[in-house]
Structure 1
Amino acid sequence: MYKIPVYLSDMKEVIRFVDKINTFEYNCDLCCGSYVVDAKSLLGVATLKGSSNVELIIHADKIDVLMKNIELNYC
């Protein structure tokens, strides 16, 4: 499991982020405090838009390709 801080400032970024995450088979969640949403859910991710301290939790062993795809959303 990996934890990566991310920031999604607007709805366009949210849509791009969810589209990229959905191309991968493994499970991913977004966590902000005690609030956890499925990172593949557009509605769930949209609720965290503009929030600080958001972490992407990736449930996989090898994440190199995913990291290259979402590099613009790192904090």
Structure 2
Amino acid sequence: MKKMKVKLGSISDVKEFVALTNSYAFESDLVSGRYAVDAKSIMGIFSLDLAKPLDFVVHDDGAKADELLDAVTKFRA
């Protein structure tokens, strides 16, 4: 499992983030406080408080997980 803080400041950021996470087979979540949603779910992401940074949790430890984290670095909080 790998983690990174992300900030999704606009609708286009959310759409791009979801497209990136959907291109990988393993599970990933976004966590805000006590709420966790599937990082591949645009509706789930919009249910979170996007004014605050979110914890992006990737449920994989392989090279593909590192590749995904590199792909979403533009959203790093």
Give runs of ≥4 in structure 1 deviating > 3 Å.
none
Distance 1:29 1:67 in 2: 13
Q: Which has the higher helix share?
A: 2
Q: Does the CA-based 8 Å contact 2:3-2:57 persist in structure 1?
A: yes
User: Contact conserved, 2:32 with 2:54, CA < 8 A, in 1?
Assistant: yes
Q: What RMSD in Å do the two structures reach over aligned CA positions?
A: 1.2
Residue of structure 2 equivalent to 1:34 = 34
Flag structure 2 segments of 5+ consecutive residues without an equivalent: none
Q: Is the 8 Å Cα contact of residues 32 and 49 (structure 2) preserved in structure 1?
A: no
Q: TM (normalized to structure 2)?
A: 0.89
Post-superposition offset of 1:53:
3.5
TM-score by length of 1: 0.91
Residues matched between the structures, number? 75
Task: Tell me the distance in 2 between the aligned counterparts of 1:49 and 1:7.
Answer: 10
Q: Distance in 2 between matches of 1:31 and 1:14?
A: 14
